Structure 1
Amino acid sequence: MQTFATLRTPQTTGLPARSGAGMLLMWLGIVTFYRIWVLPRLGITLYVDEAQYWTWAQQLDWGYFSKPPVVAWLIAASTALFGDDLVAVKLSAILLYPATAWLLFVLGRQLFDTRVGLRSAVAFSLLPFVSGLGLFVSTDAPLLFFWALAILALVRATSMDRWRDWLLLGVALGLGVMSKYTMLAFGASALLYLLLSPQRRAQLGNPRLWAAIALAAVLVMPNVLWNWSHDFPTLRHTADITHVEGINDKGGNVGEFLLAQLASLGPGFALAFLAGLVVAWQQRRDGRMQLLVCFSLPLLAIVFLQALRSEANGNWAAPAFVTATVLAVVFLSRLKTRWWIVVIALNAGLMLTVYHVRDIYRIAGKPVPASLDILKRARAWDVLARQLRPIFAAHPDAMLLTENRTLMAHLLYELRDMHLQHAAWKPQAIPQDHYQLTTPLGPEDLGRSAILVTQSGSAGVIERFSSHQTLAHVSVIAGPKLRREVDVILLEGFRGYR
């Protein structure tokens, strides 16, 4: 059986492991506190998905309309400790990405040496993907953490066959799936990795491997039962966004997907990853290279094919960035140090530019062009809510009614102190979002009054009420060429959908 002694190469840098760990902790602490400092200065509130996850966290469950439950659990934990402000809601993501970087340090050090581990962690902490999503709470943060943890546990388990490593693998797999279903792709990568070596192939008959799989299944079972009891909304939503029943009428978006991967890694690390794949092919009998390729290339290929067939979001292959980063670092470590400095500096420069683009233009005495304001979708929802606050205060018996999750999520978060009664307009049988699933306007609301906040035509809604009165048209500036506009209509006497 392989051991870590056979997997590792001798340290050639003279950098002690303890010293490397201390330097890394200091670096990750600096980056983390910098992001916490810069976040309130970006002039944003929550994105719609973040606001929706916050509402999930108010009613903890084993599943939700579009995602498994871990993201809601994390927000519930951070807001219980620190309140519901911007940083507290996002805190789990801010902390999980540095934690994932630490796991890469451990993985890189065990497979190669301290230098590779240290550089892998620093590189991951500065990936544009991490710099961007590191400020926004999402399912990708726990997904990447548990993906990296599962890889580390798998390597240790297959080399030392200890129960604690196999059980850690099962926990990481189960919680990873409970974070995002993309974690299921880990199974295909792991199987490929095991099959590529006779020694690892023998692990398929190891009862400890199957105990790990059974443990993962036990952890995931509550979400399966939740989906069963709610007619599988999460699986249906996943099928809808991936167009599993046909080709998207708009065609594929493979070019957009490839550009997203380039932007996520940064141009330097993207090129280094491609070069690393060439090196991995040349050293294809090396178990370390097999590991890095098996947990990066297959997932990228699967999502690439999805982008060819229909369309794929840029973050769907995000777990591949974990081992892609290590493979890129392995290649760069063969070059002179200045190349490493160049690619790291490039990604650091991109991070600083995005975080401080408003400051740069403010110093220049110019407004930020709309095309460069990549955070504009998270602006001015708090301003809009302040305009609506006195309207709801004047009608305390009327419930908030919306036709889409965007308005519902933002208003419930921004007006959270008002504890608004709310309902989602749901004229169709199958729910289309979380609020239609959990709080639809239904027969029990007959005769109720509501305040409709709408960004679209309201004719189909107001005709199902006995009377209506337009209270306001609210318009706020969110940025250059961007306004938040809503109509606010008081509705009396709901008469049902038919």
Structure 2
Amino acid sequence: MQKTPNYKLYFWIVTLALAAAKVIFTFRPEIDLFTEEAQYWLWSENLAWHYYSKPPMVAYLNWIGTSIFGTTEIGVRFFAIAFGLGSAWVTFTFGSYLYSDKVGFWSALILQAMPFWWLISTFHTTDTSVAFFWALMAFWLYRGIKEDKKRWWALAGLAGALGLMSKAVMLLAFPFLIFYLFQRKQLGKKWTKLLLFSGLMALGFIPVLVWNFQNDFMTFRHLSQLAGGGESSNSDFSFGQKLVQFFEYLGGQLAMISIFFIPLLFGSLKNVLKFRSQEKFYLILPAILTFGGFAVLSFGTEVIVNWPIFAYMGLPIVMASWVEEQSKSWHKIRNWGIVIGIGLPLILVLPDFTFLKSIEGVKKGEKAVFRRMSGYQPLADRLNHLQDSLQIQEPFYFSETYHMASELSFYLEGNPQTHMLNMGARRNQFDLWPGMEQFLGQERTGIFVSWNYDSPGEFASFQRLIYEEKFPVTFRGLPLRIATIQVYQNLTEFDPYVPETY
């Protein structure tokens, strides 16, 4: 008698191994924080109800992570790795609940072979937590609908509240759920449980309302601007440009799911539409509604590739369950998609255990991928050295981008609060914090650092320039970028660019 495979054990072996690989990646000395990660870490140094563009969850998680592990990359990325593992676990559990442990196992492997999962489970951004809480909410909601128990509706509401504190797109749970119940003709029967779910989820909106009420509803203005509203919308935007923008959006979404899974994706979607399976329709509905909504939006504004990805969490289960009903040739397509989808990222994130990453072309490719997360530690080390050698007491550091300013705050000794000199950028969180105006006429030393500009220009004037240099940084021996470093004495004029849009 053949022994039944222990798919739960297999799941944990693979998932924990991938988590370990990400921990190893985090300790690679040539890889620094992604610039958005650095920004969200700096938010955690300035805890608030909410922030200019995002809810507070990412800052709270960073505060917890760095409280445990210190101000380190692992402190920032701990929750990315943990929530990535959690998302895989929810996928395995949901697939097992609907079908079998075998389907759950393959669902989790397909998820972990998708590029978007690698992004949200390696780098700690707002997508990390919203994807996890969406998956958890969707699982508990389905149990609530099927088992008709208030407990699951309540738990789903709490997961939704935490998701809403992660990212505003969590609000799409309401049209998704209402539409699903309506087409099943259960909206009237479930309205009391729907109210329970909605009331608990709405708790996550309290921080948004409190902060925005205190800050002239800046987040709402910002989101409206991103959606193509407001004064910045371009009425002369041609249809051809809109079409290009749409196809860029479409290509980006297929890439996030993985081009290797496109046959499985279309085969399983066709199956759902043909046989009208309610549980599979439940799983694909968030993806369809969200993808369609952002597709329409892409004709009016640029849609960032990561915006819809949280809604794709149910697709691996649909794909895995469909493949199990197909011939062995489809199993091979699935298996190769998983091998490539996991193998390529592993080669990229792990240190050079083999000779492959020492090949010049591969090394250049890796440099291009990690360009935005390299060079900040060496740059900060150089600035620390200059501060000592020039005997500068309590300087303030500033740059023209929040990216550089945030990275410097993380990597400089003592983690000082840095500043952004707006030289033409849109509004951001730095506009709401005390700025460089506080240093006017105070004989303080200001250190300007930039990848892009040779000086602060007309936006800030100082009594004198003490020192300047061009500092080159490398990636594994290859030239990467050159930073301008200028040390000034006594800020005399401060006239930053004031953006009119949000």
TM-score (norm 2): 0.87
Query: Could you report, residue by residue, the CA deviation over 1:183-204 in whole angstroms, capped at 9, with x for unpaired residues?
Result: 1112221111111102x32345
Alignment match of 1:271 (pick from 256, 263, 267): 263
Measured in 2, the distance between the counterparts of 1:309 and 1:15 equals 53
- State the match for 1:46 in structure 2: 33
Residue 325 of structure 2 corresponds to residue 327 of structure 1: no
**Of 287-296 and 446-455, the range deviating more from structure 2:** 446-455
**Of 88-97 and 465-474, the range deviating more from structure 2:** 465-474
1:263, distance to aligned residue in structure 2 (A)? 2.0
Query: Could you report, residue by residue, the CA deviation over 1:264-315 in whole angstroms, capped at 9, with x for unpaired residues?
Result: 222232221111111011111x211220221211111111222233211111
Measured in 2, the distance between the counterparts of 1:247 and 1:102 equals 44
Give the counterpart letter for 2:456 in structure 1.
S
Query: Could you report, residue by residue, the CA deviation over 1:435-490 in whole angstroms, capped at 9, with x for unpaired residues?
Result: 22113223574435222324424221343x34444433323234756313123131
Please say if residues 475 and 485 of structure 1, whose CA atoms lie closer than 8 Å, have aligned partners that are also in contact: yes
Residue 228 of structure 2 corresponds to residue 243 of structure 1: yes
Alignment match of 1:388 (pick from 360, 383, 386): 383
- State the match for 1:312 in structure 2: 303
- State the match for 2:135 in structure 1: 148
**Of 351-360 and 250-259, the range deviating more from structure 2:** 351-360
Give the counterpart letter for 2:53 in structure 1.
S
1:224, distance to aligned residue in structure 2 (A)? 1.5
**Of 249-258 and 146-155, the range deviating more from structure 2:** 249-258
Measured in 1, the distance between the counterparts of 2:200 and 2:485 equals 51
Residue 332 of structure 2 corresponds to residue 341 of structure 1: no
TM-score (norm 1): 0.88
Number of residue pairs the alignment of both structures matches? 478
Distance 1:214-1:176 versus aligned 2 partners, 3 A rule: same
1:118, distance to aligned residue in structure 2 (A)? 1.6
Query: Could you report, residue by residue, the CA deviation over 1:3-45 in whole angstroms, capped at 9, with x for unpaired residues?
Result: xxxxxxxxxx9958xx433332222112211221233237210
Give the counterpart letter for 1:374 in structure 2.
V
Unmatched segments (≥5 aa) in structure 2: 497-502
Alignment match of 2:200 (pick from 215, 226, 233): 215
- State the match for 1:5 in structure 2: none
Give the counterpart letter for 1:375 in structure 2.
F
Alignment match of 1:132 (pick from 98, 104, 119): 119
Please say if residues 21 and 346 of structure 2, whose CA atoms lie closer than 8 Å, have aligned partners that are also in contact: no
Give the counterpart letter for 1:212 in structure 2.
F
Measured in 1, the distance between the counterparts of 2:439 and 2:351 equals 50
Give the counterpart letter for 1:489 in structure 2.
V
Determine helix, strand or coil for the equivalent of 1:164.
Answer: helix
Distance 1:158-1:475 versus aligned 2 partners, 3 A rule: same
Residue 245 of structure 2 corresponds to residue 260 of structure 1: no
Residue 2 of structure 2 corresponds to residue 23 of structure 1: no
Measured in 2, the distance between the counterparts of 1:398 and 1:88 equals 26
Measured in 2, the distance between the counterparts of 1:426 and 1:38 equals 33
Residue 104 of structure 2 corresponds to residue 117 of structure 1: yes
Unmatched segments (≥5 aa) in structure 1: 1-12
Measured in 2, the distance between the counterparts of 1:444 and 1:368 equals 43
Alignment match of 2:187 (pick from 197, 201, 210): 201
Please say if residues 472 and 489 of structure 1, whose CA atoms lie closer than 8 Å, have aligned partners that are also in contact: no
Measured in 1, the distance between the counterparts of 2:415 and 2:337 equals 48
**Of 364-373 and 225-234, the range deviating more from structure 2:** 364-373
Measured in 1, the distance between the counterparts of 2:423 and 2:367 equals 39
Please say if residues 144 and 319 of structure 1, whose CA atoms lie closer than 8 Å, have aligned partners that are also in contact: yes
Query: Could you report, residue by residue, the CA deviation over 1:162-187 in whole angstroms, capped at 9, with x for unpaired residues?
Result: 23211111111111111011111122
Distance 1:354-1:42 versus aligned 2 partners, 3 A rule: farther
- State the match for 2:56 in structure 1: 69
Measured in 2, the distance between the counterparts of 1:438 and 1:119 equals 47
Determine helix, strand or coil for the equivalent of 1:32.
Answer: helix
Measured in 2, the distance between the counterparts of 1:421 and 1:318 equals 33
- State the match for 2:281 in structure 1: 290
1:427, distance to aligned residue in structure 2 (A)? 8.2
Measured in 2, the distance between the counterparts of 1:15 and 1:299 equals 39
1:113, distance to aligned residue in structure 2 (A)? 2.2
Percent identity among equivalent residues? Answer: 22
1:431, distance to aligned residue in structure 2 (A)? 7.4
Please say if residues 401 and 452 of structure 1, whose CA atoms lie closer than 8 Å, have aligned partners that are also in contact: yes
Determine helix, strand or coil for the equivalent of 1:313.
Answer: coil
Determine helix, strand or coil for the equivalent of 1:296.
Answer: helix
Determine helix, strand or coil for the equivalent of 1:488.
Answer: strand
What is the root-mean-square deviation in Å for CA atoms of aligned residues?
2.7
Alignment match of 2:402 (pick from 384, 393, 405): 405
Please say if residues 423 and 459 of structure 2, whose CA atoms lie closer than 8 Å, have aligned partners that are also in contact: no
Distance 1:477-1:33 versus aligned 2 partners, 3 A rule: closer
Please say if residues 25 and 351 of structure 2, whose CA atoms lie closer than 8 Å, have aligned partners that are also in contact: no
Distance 1:378-1:295 versus aligned 2 partners, 3 A rule: same
Measured in 1, the distance between the counterparts of 2:260 and 2:399 equals 45
Please say if residues 264 and 334 of structure 2, whose CA atoms lie closer than 8 Å, have aligned partners that are also in contact: no
